[in-house]
Chain A
Amino acid sequence: MRFAFTEEQLELRTAVRQVLDRECTTADLRTIVDSHDHGAGRSAERWAVLSELGAPGVLVAENHGGLGLTDVELVGVLEEAGWAGLPEPLAESAALAAPLLAAATRLAADGAAAHAVAERSLPMIAGGELVATVGGVDVTVDGLVTSTRPAPDVTQGTVVTERVAGASRAGLFLLAWEAPRLGWQVHAVPVDAVDVTAAPSIDGTRDLGAVEWTPWPHTVVASGVHATAVVGDLADRTAVAYAAELLGLADRMITIAADYAKDRQQFGKPIGSFQAVKHHLANARVKLEFARPATYRAADSLARQLPDRSEHASMAKALASDAADLAARVALQVHGAIGYTWECDLQLFMKRAWALSAAGGDATTHRARVLAAALDRLPPG
């Protein structure tokens, strides 16, 4: 039992923090949200340095040009992405698409197609030349449902996958849907075979889109029981990846608000000296303190493919969503009216926290999943 990161794991995380401190400033984020154009604040430089560090390929095997590491290394990287409010779809490409492709290949139900896509794409994902994203799975209390629906008023057979993150940026889309009578399928669709319509999010950096595409037999990379497994894994990975980002976001918002409370004076002293303000921020800190280990454990369970990993992922997402929601609420209150303005940088992190808190299943949904798992463990009778 040693529940801690190694020096090497901490070094990778620190390297990402240093790069993002320089390459992902609040001014950069503001360029995106002010222009309402996700392309505006894009920095090729930023993605290039992240790629040099190996961030997009943390989970990609070394023989595919990746770092060949695990979710335990990735979780710290994603926490830093959250802290920085990184507008690029690092979580989607590195934590979701890459392992999904690898898993589809491993299961090899539809071997040839998955294998070909993986062989071609994984080295490019790892190197950062190709950004991949995922879509089509929503988490509900009653189970996983697809967000891929038949497209209205278009050619027969075309479907639309709602709320795909990083949609304007991605070169490869891994899209799930529940085909009538066939159950879950996962398709790998290149950018030239999709039609993306922007779906503006409260978080102006999230780059959501509705993706229209056509499921062809040759785009299938997983079907049947294998697709069910891949989709379940995708839901778990989404929960953990977003939980990690939410930890970073919560930490950032608490830090911004604490700095403001040290600086802002009322009644002749810093507002941070008043207990009402202190206690708000302390409550947020306590929630964050206990969401962290649960998220690291979930990452470890994913890395080891433990039987309870789904429950652990849900626990992490429930705790991290709540921690970030409280941090956002408290940080806004501590700022007072200035926090309610467009001008205040808090919004850059608060809105992302709101978005990711709900994405991939909100806290209530994941709590219900945990309770269901706990009930399943009770002895019969």
Chain B
Amino acid sequence: MDLTFSAEQDAFRAEARAWLAAHVPSEPLPSLDTAEGFAAHRAWERLLFEDRWSVVSWPSEYGGRDVGIMEWLIFEEEYYRARAPKRVSQNGIFLLAPTMLEYGTPEQKARFLPPMAAADEIWCQGWSEPDAGSDLAGIRSRAVRAAGDDGWQLTGQKTWCSRGAFAEWCFGIFRTDPDAERHRGLTYFLVPMAADGVTVRPIPQLDGETGFAEVFFEDVFVPDEHVLGGVGDGWKVAMSTAGSERGLSLRSPARYTEAAARLVELFADRGRPGGRIADDVARAYIDAQAYELGTYWMASRAADGHTIGAEASCNKIFWSETDLAIHAAGLSLLGPDAELLERSPADPGAGAGGTSAAGTGTGQADAYPGPWLDGYLFALAGPIYAGTNEIQRNVVAERLLGLPRS
């Protein structure tokens, strides 16, 4: 058991820290769910890519540094510590890429991974449909063979596609064999959003910004080379993405340990109130550390060659509830100020900047409500996306505890 980092890992950390210190914008970028903010975040991704920081764990031929999962976690720690911008390309680099590295052809990897790493092509996810959310295998969007027999015609509707309002590409599952058992007749497609027949309708989220979108497909042609994995294997391929989404790659622990550190600062700034609220702060702080340790534990298992299966569902439940606990405690500390969206002009710290408590910013303890409200709103989505926590609990009960299916 060795919980220390090697000299090489320390050097890697130092290099990442120095680069981030020199490059992270001093003022927070505009929200990535606006056209202006999307462009600004894309430019930031481009900067990361140019110095090979955008996808450190990828093979170098696709723009990465070929480093292991521990180094990726180190990079993430430094990234959050530096309060660098949110990753506008996260759906592609964290969710699609691991699946593509596993199932993609050499041509697909060469075609799609470099522009994904450079944020020249930003991806959204096309999974949920109006009538298929938790019951994902119930999707109805379909694909039929195109007339020329060189591809597929996609028809249907996807929804809750994060970054869908501005993305260039969509990865999604469509039904290719309506007669097969419902988990079988599905196929995983890579679809350009600019293709004929694609219509995007942005959907304002709880915060009023268009963080996700509905996407309509009307006889959209997709060539055979844009099928990921085998025809009819869509469910298996999609579950590999789902594993990444719930497990290690979507939510690195640094996100929570950094927010928890700021929570402790806020607790101090607010005069260290006692009683229940102190216990809430302590609990959130400890859960963030527990998530970090659990991640290193799981990453060590992965590094030893074990596959991470249903344990990923435990992760998803834990990080989403931890995120909520951290931000709910932050709002409790702010008391009657918690509903305020802006810092009061009378506040001596006004104008010092700062954004999401869990994301970016430059403020000290973020001792005004805006970032905590943003973080809370964001955290509220956690138990819903990437498979609701209720579905995850079913997975834990059935696969880890062996309880019978409903």
Stretch with Cβ within 8 A of B (4 or more), from A31-39, A50-58, A365-373: A365-373
Given A278-B397, A296-B1, A378-B265, answer yes or no on A3-B300 (Cβ-Cβ < 8 Å). yes
Q: Check A371 against B278 for contact (C-beta < 8 Å).
A: yes
Across the interface, A292 reaches (CB within 8 A) one of B297, B318, B400, namely B297
Given A1-B6, A5-B1, A297-B293, answer yes or no on A290-B318 (Cβ-Cβ < 8 Å). yes
Question: Residue B4 at the A interface, CB < 8 A?
Answer: yes
For this complex, into which size category does the number of interface residues on chain B fall? 35 or more
Q: Check B406 against A4 for contact (C-beta < 8 Å).
A: no
B281 nearest in chain A by CB position: A371
Q: Check A272 against B403 for contact (C-beta < 8 Å).
A: yes
Question: Residue A318 at the B interface, CB < 8 A?
Answer: yes
Q: Check B393 against A367 for contact (C-beta < 8 Å).
A: no
Given A283-B393, A367-B282, A371-B281, answer yes or no on A272-B1 (Cβ-Cβ < 8 Å). no
* Docked pose: A173 CA to B349 CA in angstroms: 58
Mark B247-266 against chain A: 1 for CB-CB distance below 8 A, else 0. 00000000000000000110
Stretch with Cβ within 8 A of B (4 or more), from A61-69, A177-185, A215-223, A254-262: A254-262
B73 nearest in chain A by CB position: A1
Q: Check A262 against B403 for contact (C-beta < 8 Å).
A: yes
Chain A residue contacts of B286, Cβ below 8 A: 294, 315, 318-319, 367, 370
Question: Residue A340 at the B interface, CB < 8 A?
Answer: no
A285, chain B: closest CB distance, angstroms: 6
Chain B residue contacts of A293, Cβ below 8 A: 290, 293-294, 296-297
Question: Residue A224 at the B interface, CB < 8 A?
Answer: no
* Docked pose: A274 CA to B281 CA in angstroms: 34
Q: Check B272 against A261 for contact (C-beta < 8 Å).
A: no
Mark A251-284 against chain B: 1 for CB-CB distance below 8 A, else 0. 0001000100110000001101111011101110
Q: Which of B280-313 contact A (CB under 8 A)?
A: 281-283, 285-287, 289-291, 293-294, 296-297, 299-301, 303-304, 311
Chain A residue contacts of B300, Cβ below 8 A: 1-4
B13, chain A: closest CB distance, angstroms: 12
Question: Residue B2 at the A interface, CB < 8 A?
Answer: yes
Q: Which of A301-356 contact B (CB under 8 A)?
A: 315, 318-319
* Docked pose: A281 CA to B394 CA in angstroms: 10
Given A3-B297, A285-B396, answer yes or no on A258-B402 (Cβ-Cβ < 8 Å). yes
* Docked pose: A261 CA to B5 CA in angstroms: 44
Q: Check B396 against A273 for contact (C-beta < 8 Å).
A: no
Q: Check A3 against B397 for contact (C-beta < 8 Å).
A: no
Chain B residue contacts of A272, Cβ below 8 A: 397, 403-404
**Prevailing SS type, chain A contact patch:** helix
Across the interface, A262 reaches (CB within 8 A) one of B1, B290, B299, B404, namely B404
Q: Check B396 against A3 for contact (C-beta < 8 Å).
A: no
B285 nearest in chain A by CB position: A374
Question: Residue B401 at the A interface, CB < 8 A?
Answer: yes
Q: Check B272 against A375 for contact (C-beta < 8 Å).
A: yes
Q: Which of A217-265 contact B (CB under 8 A)?
A: 254, 258, 261-262
Across the interface, B393 reaches (CB within 8 A) one of A4, A282, A290, A294, namely A282
Q: Check B397 against A290 for contact (C-beta < 8 Å).
A: no
Kindly name the residue among B314, B390, B394 whose own CB sees the greatest number of chain A CB atoms within 10 A: B314
B365, chain A: closest CB distance, angstroms: 9
Given A258-B401, A273-B406, A364-B279, answer yes or no on A282-B3 (Cβ-Cβ < 8 Å). no
Q: Check B304 against A315 for contact (C-beta < 8 Å).
A: no
Q: Check A4 against B297 for contact (C-beta < 8 Å).
A: yes
Q: Which of B357-393 contact A (CB under 8 A)?
A: 390, 392-393
A301 nearest in chain B by CB position: B3
* Docked pose: A274 CA to B398 CA in angstroms: 11
Across the interface, B404 reaches (CB within 8 A) one of A6, A273, A319, namely A273
Kindly name the residue among B299, B397, B398, B400 whose own CB sees the greatest number of chain A CB atoms within 10 A: B397
Given A4-B297, A281-B403, answer yes or no on A300-B1 (Cβ-Cβ < 8 Å). yes
* Docked pose: A206 CA to B286 CA in angstroms: 29
Question: Residue A44 at the B interface, CB < 8 A?
Answer: no
Q: Check B291 against A370 for contact (C-beta < 8 Å).
A: no
Given contacts A294-B294, A378-B268, could you give 8 more A-B pairs where the C-beta distance is less than 8 Å? A1-B2, A1-B9, A2-B304, A3-B296, A3-B297, A293-B293, A296-B297, A315-B286
Q: What are 23 sample pairs from A and B whose C-beta atoms fall under 8 A apart?
A: A1-B5, A3-B2, A6-B1, A72-B1, A258-B402, A262-B403, A270-B404, A275-B393, A279-B390, A281-B397, A285-B401, A289-B294, A289-B311, A289-B318, A290-B290, A290-B294, A293-B290, A293-B296, A294-B286, A294-B290, A364-B279, A367-B282, A367-B283
B contact residues vs A (CB 8 Å cutoff): 1-6, 9, 70, 264-265, 267-268, 272, 278-279, 281-283, 285-287, 289-291, 293-294, 296-297, 299-301, 303-304, 311, 314, 317-318, 390, 392-394, 396-398, 400-406
Among all A-B residue pairs, the 10 with the closest Cβ atoms: A278-B397, A367-B282, A272-B403, A282-B393, A371-B282, A282-B396, A293-B297, A293-B293, A290-B290, A273-B404
